[in-house]
Each structure stands twice: as C-alpha cells, then as structure tokens.
Amino acid sequence: MGISRFITSFMLLLFLILSSNVFKCSVPVDATTAAKFTFKGFKGSQTAIQAEGASTIQHDNGLLRLTDRNHNATGTAFYREPIRLRDYTNSTNFKVCSFSSSFVFVIIPSSPGNGGFGFTFTLSPTPNRPGAESAQYLGLLNRYNNGNKSNHVFALEFDTVQGFKDGADRRGNHIGLNFNNLSSEVQEPLIYYETADRKEDFQLDSGEPIRVHVDYDGSSEILNVTIYPTRLESKPEKPLISRRVSELTGIVEEEMYVGFTAATGKDQSSAHYVMGWSFASCGENPKADWLHLEQLPDPPPPKTSLRDKKGYTSQVVALIVALSIVTVVLLVLLFVFVMYKRQIQEDEILEDWEIDYPHRFKYRDLYLATKRFKESEIIGTGGFGIVYRGNLSSSGPIAVKKITSNSLQGVREFVAEIESLGRLGHKNLVNLQGWCKHKNDLLLVYDYIPNGSLDSLLYRTPRRNGVVLPWDVRFDIIKGIASGLLYLHEEWEQIVIHRDVKASNVLIDEDMNAKLGDFGLARLYERGTLSQTTKVVGTLGYMAPELTRNGKGSTASDVFAFGVLLLEIVCGNRPTNSSGDFFLADWVMEFHANGGILSAVDQKLGSSFNGIEAKLALAVGLLCCHQKPKSRPSMRMVLRYLNGEEDVPRIDENWGFSDSSRDDLGINVVGYVSSDKASTSNTFSSCSEVSSSSYR
C-alpha cells in the first residue's frame, strides 16, 4: 500500500514536471524573463563577466578595465548570460521590452588631449565581437561589416575622438547612438543639464568618474541617456538624449548580450575603466540599482596614470634621445665626409693651383666687390666676357672680367699661365691681380685703369679740356704697347700671343701710360675652353691676312695688328670703314707713294707733332702691315726702330700690301669697321663667320 502511494505521488510529481516543461516550451509568449544584476565593482565576478582582448578585471582593485593605454587595442566585456529583450505578451509582433542600466566609468588618456578612441555600451547577439577593429570601430565592428543590418548591434558610444565622420567634428568628446553602424545616428556633444535650460559641458577623458543612466521604455520606445560627473549630488532632471528608437525592434534578437566594447587608436590611446554596473530589464518598470559611489572601488588612482605616463614619457624621451644621438652622429659623419671630400678637392687644387699660384680670389669677395655683379657696375663687354668695376676692401678698385662658358676645361693650365704672367708683370700690361673659378665662370681680377681705353681717347670727345691726345703722348703709347707685346712675345718664359691687339684693348692710366689688356685670353679659345672647336680670334681690320686662311695666330699676326694700331694712333683713323673699301695701311701707303706721308698724320694735331717721329712711326706701321708674315719685323726690331737704335728699311712701292697682292690672297679688303663703342670689341670667333658676314 505504502508502495502504491509512493508510486502515485511519484507519477504525480513526474506529471507536474513534464506538464510544466510542455507548458514552457509550447508557450514562448510568456517566456519574457526579467533580468537584473548589479556589480559594485567586479571583484570576484570573473565568471559573470566575459572579458576578451585588452579587457580584464583587475584583481587588486576590482575595476573592469576595458583597455589599457596600449595603442591599436580592442577589448570587450559582456555579461555572460544572454538577456531576453523581446516581449511577446500582446501579439506575435514582439516589442523590445523596457530596460534600464547604469554605470560609472573613468577614462584616463595617455597624455592630456591625446586620448582615444572610446568605448560603447552595447547590445550584441554575441558575448564578444570577433573581427572587430580598433580606433573608430571601437572594438565593435570592422570596416567590412560596419552598417550591415545583419550585425544586430545597438551601441551607445562614448567617443573621445571624432574618428568616424572624418573631418566632420574633430573635437570628439561626444556620445552617440549607433544602430549597426558606427556612423552615429544621433550624436550629442557632452553636456549635462544643470537646469532644464542651463547646460554644462565636461570632458569624457578628464580622469574623473562619470555616471551614466540608460533608460528605455518599451511601450513608448523612448530611450533616455543621462550622463554627468559623479561629483554632482543628484541626477540631472533632463536627459542628454531622449529619443524614440524604433530601430531597436529590428536589432534585438531572441537573445542578446549586454556589455561594453572599447578601442584605442594608432596615435591616440586611453585606458577605459568601468567602476560599477547595474542592469534591469523587462517586467514592470525595470529599474537598475543606483550605484553608490562609496560602495564602488576607488577610481584608478592618478598615481597609476602618472607612473604610466611617466613610463610612457620616459620611453618617448629615450626614443628622442636615441634619435638625437643618431642624428648628431649622422650629421657629424656627413660633415666629416664633406670636409674630407672638400679636402680631397682642395688637395687636387693645391697641387697646381694653390701652392704655386697664390693669386686666387674668393668668389664671395668678388661677388660683394662688384655689388653682386650688378649691371650698373659694368664698364665694358669684350669678346671674352663682361668687365665689372669693383672695390675690394683689401686692394682698392679693381676690374673683374667675367668669362662664362659651358665648360672650363683647360682653364687650369690657362690659370697657371695667367698666374705666371701676373707674378712677373710688366708696366705695359694691365696688372692681373688674380683669378677665381666659380662654377662655369672664370673671373679675372685686374687693376682698375682709370682713363679707360685708348679707343675712347682717340675717338671720343676730346678729354682734358678739349685737347686732343698730343703727339708725344701718342708716341709714348705706341712705344708702350710695343714694349708690352715684346714682353709677351719674347721676354717671358713662354711665347704668349695676344691675338686681339686693338685700340679698345689698350688702357691708359693716370700718367697716360699704355697698358695692354686681355693678353693671353686667346689661349682659352685655343684650348677649346670657350668653344668646342678651334676658332679664329681677332677683330676685323686688325687681322692679318693669313689668319683668315689658316686661323693660326702667331707673333707675326700680333705684329700685323700692332702695325694697324700704330697707324691708327698716328692718323686718328679707324683701320677700316663700314663700306669696306677703306684700309688704313693702303691709305697711308698711298701718301707714302706720293712722297707726302706726313699728310696721313691726324688732322686734329695740326702741326703740333714731331715730323721725324711721325715719319718713323708711319714707316714702322707700314712695315708691320706686310702681307707676308715673314716680312714683318719682330717686336724687338719694332722697338729698336722706334727708339732710333736701328734704321728703318726703305719701303718701296712694291711693298707687299698693294690691292693686287691682296686680291691674290682672295681678300678684297678687310672690310669691316668694328661697330664697337669704346670697350666693345667685335671678336669673331670663327673663320666661316668672318667670310660669311663680311666678304659678301
């Protein structure tokens, strides 16, 4: 009997258990279950909270740390149990039931103003967020699923960096409502309402604890978010966000997980902490427990932040120091390298240039002396370059000839020569003080000769109170030029051919001494420094006939040019005229043939000249202008003639430069009056140029 009673009661119990199960499974409408939990700190809650990534519950103080200050970190912390938020009580079309949550958090930036990125309070279908990215994805979503309706996530974001809408609002420090999409649907800068119409703003990442209330009313679908610093005594009446969020219906699934996600950025980072958290859902007017601050763990101590910050700072300092050292070392190496290279270069120069030839100028000095090669300082433009006036503090007025060329090869030998010339010097040569090579410029520094060129003295308005150049000065000038040329041809260790003897290349100093300029520069042409091919150098009217044929300058061709210049000085006449039918030597020869050679003397002199000297000079001039180079006297002989140490040979009418003999050479006349003004010379640098421009 006892057994049957036992069996009956057992069966009854079984039935009750079974029937209750059937009831449960077949009527899901009634399955809404109120949920409620409260964490006053998280100590011992490891099993209740599923923390992943950078998130962890700190053993010592019980704080839930969502991320630390490492860069590019993500972390999630969800309540481990799923929450049912669908309310089926009234129909098959469910509602999202009411819920309420409250938490206190602290954000400590890695350095003030450089915090990032933020965290979210999230409803998620999973208790973690696999594949979520850092920075603006806040550990919640990633670039591929952001905005996808299949995410089924709702997030209230606490963002300290305006990371998502790029450039829209870089200030950050806002909260936002996100529905499957981290581009917030609703966004509010961080304030609390002190009264209904008085706002106070505050910072998310100030390091002070901040309290949040999230309240959702299922029937009205209104979500209220209130956020304020815990230092306020009571909750502000007016929520920061109060909005109908019908989107939740599309998001909330049968089971949802509630929790937090957080992320730091590549450059910005913060440590995100939750001090306490309460939650309640469904049922009658669910209300999350109030979190009493004194029951929560202490906020993360500022000491920690300082220490961490200090560690961080010292790392940065170490990095900066290391980089500085590396930089300094590199700079020193570079400097040494440059100096070494320069030393090498200098050594190269020193061999030939510096030791033997101390007349090198510093470019900077010349640059400043000529007022940066200012145009107003130009005193002449010759065939070889532009001449500038300058003033050196060390040596007074100078003339700087600037020779520009694409290539200055061979210039070294040239300078070597110039150096020697400058060292030896001659009173009838313009003193070459030195030189300077700068990039493609060769700069030659000469004494500044105040009276300008002979050319200008002969043809310009008479200087010195309207008095023309008197005879004895002319004769001295002629002898001076001869003396200078002799020096170049015979008295110096090497034969230097001037190649461009002409009035404009003779400068006259204060004491009316002639000084020959531009000597030796033709070498630059010969060496191919100034041009690629060998070219004929000279000025029409002064060019010996053989020059136009073979282009080879010789002492004899210099003598020819000297002869022309001599006649020019005596007669006060240009060597040729513009129509090309006048040649000074022929003209003088005619007077000679007629026995009245003195009629050739410059009319401006009147009778104030020494007839014997004039006759002598004209005869020497004619001698020098002989067609055949071999028949011309040397400069030494010329000087002896002029000094009366040797008798001048007789010149008969068959002397070699009649028109016919010139025709034989295929040259009608050297028919070109240089259009040069004073110091401008027409230096033709190619034979073909001469023939095409002046013989047709």
Q: Residue 65 or residue 95: which is nearer to ligand NAG going by CB?
A: 95
Q: Which two tokens stand for residue 695?
A: 């013989």
> Under the criterion CB under 6 A, does residue 249 sit at the interface with ligand NAG?
no
Phi first, then psi: what are they for 67, rounded to 5°?
Answer: -145, 155
Distance, CA of 519 to CA of 414 (rounded, Å): 12
Q: Strands 74-79, 241-244: parallel, antiparallel or unpaired by DSSP? A: unpaired
CB of 210 to ligand NAG, least distance (A): 19
Is 500 in the active site? yes
Q: Looking only at residues 167 through 196 of this chain, which bind ligand NAG when binding is defined by CB under 6 A?
A: 181, 183
Is 95 annotated in a binding site? The answer is no
Q: How far is CA 483 from CA 238, 283, 478, 643, in A?
A: 111, 127, 9, 11
Number of residues that bind ligand NAG (CB under 6 A): 18
x/- string (CB under 6 A) for ligand NAG, residues 600-639? ----------------------------------------
The upper half-sphere exposure of residue 139, i.e. CA atoms within 13 Å in the direction of its Cβ, equals: 36
Q: Is 148 in the site for ligand NAG (CB under 6 A)?
A: yes
Q: Does residue number 242 form part of the binding site for ligand NAG (CB under 6 A)?
A: yes
Among 81, 208, 217, 253, binds ligand NAG (CB under 6 A): 217
**Quick one: 31 or 344, whose CB is closer to ligand NAG?**
31
Region near ligand NAG per CB under 6 A, out of 237-245, 248-256, 421-429, 477-485 = 237-245
Interface with ligand NAG, residue 34, by CB under 6 A: no
Binding flag, residue 72, ligand NAG (CB under 6 A): yes
Task: Confirm or reject binding of residue 266 to ligand NAG (CB under 6 A).
Answer: yes
Is 578 near ligand NAG (CB under 6 A)?
Answer: no
Which residue in 238, 287, 371, 628 binds ligand NAG (CB under 6 A)? 238
Stretch that binds ligand NAG, among 188-196, 234-242, 287-295, 412-420 (CB under 6 A): 234-242
| Residue with smaller CB distance to ligand NAG, 35 or 399 | 35
**Residue 243 is a binding residue for ligand NAG (CB under 6 A):** no
DSSP state string for 308-347? HHHHHHHHHHHHHHHHHHHHHHHHHHHHHHHHHHHHHHHH
Determine if 239 is a binding residue for ligand NAG (CB under 6 A).
yes
Rg of the chain (C-alpha set): 53
Does 285 bind ligand NAG (CB under 6 A)? Our answer is no
User: How far, rounded to the nearest angstrom, does the alpha carbon of residue 679 sit from its chain's CA centroid?
Assistant: 42
Shortest Å, Cβ 181 to ligand NAG = 4
Q: Does 147 bind ligand NAG (CB under 6 A)?
A: yes
Which of 172, 284, 290 minimizes the C-alpha distance to 226?
290
Separation CA 213–CA 198 (nearest Å) = 19
- The C-alpha atoms of residue 628 and residue 658 are separated, in whole angstroms, by 12
Q: Is 131 exposed, middle or buried (0-12, 13-18, 19+ CB in 10 A)?
A: exposed
Q: Which residue has the tokens 């929560």?
A: 296
Per CB under 6 A, 142 contacts ligand NAG: no
Residue nearest to ligand NAG as judged by C-beta position: 147
Does 32 bind ligand NAG (CB under 6 A)? Our answer is no
Cα dihedral across residues 182, 188, 191, 193: positive or negative: negative
Applying CB under 6 A, the span of 141-149, 248-256, 504-512, 561-569 interacting with ligand NAG comes to: 141-149
Sign of CA dihedral 349, 355, 360, 363: positive
Could you tell me which stretch among 142-150, 504-512, 591-599, 633-641 binds ligand NAG (CB under 6 A)?
142-150
φ, ψ of residue 154 in degrees (nearest 5): -120, 135
Among 114, 126, 224, 691, binds ligand NAG (CB under 6 A): 224
d(CA 399, CA 457): 19
Closest CA to 441 of 518, 526, 366, 356: 366
CA distance 368 to 393: 10
- Tell me which of 500, 518, 602, 676 is the catalytic residue: 500
Q: Is residue 42 reached through a cis peptide bond, with omega within 30 degrees of 0 on the bond before it?
A: no
Give the interface segment with ligand NAG, choosing from 102-110, 216-224, 449-457, 567-575 (CB under 6 A): 216-224
Looking from the CA of 691 toward its CB, the CA atoms found within 13 Å total 11
Q: Which is nearer to ligand NAG, 215 or 419 (CB)?
A: 215
Residue 136 or 679 with smaller CB distance to ligand NAG: 136
H-helix segments, 425-530: 454-459, 463-466, 471-486, 522-526
Q: Which backbone phi and psi does 495 adopt, to 5 degrees?
A: -80, 125
**286 in contact with ligand NAG (CB under 6 A):** no
Assess 126 for contact with ligand NAG (CB under 6 A).
Answer: no
Phi, psi for residue 438 in degrees, rounded to 5: -135, 115
Which of 26, 47, 92, 150 is close enough to bind ligand NAG by CB under 6 A?
Answer: 150
Residues 77, 259 contacting (CB under 8 angstroms)? yes
Give strand pairing partners of 217: 222
Taking the least distance from each CB to ligand NAG, the nearer of 126 and 685 is 126
Annotated binding site for ATP: 402
Return residues touching ligand NAG (CB under 6 A).
Answer: 72, 89-90, 134, 145, 147-148, 150, 181, 183, 215, 217, 222, 224, 238-239, 242, 266
Write out the catalytic residue numbers.
Answer: 500
Annotated binding site: 402
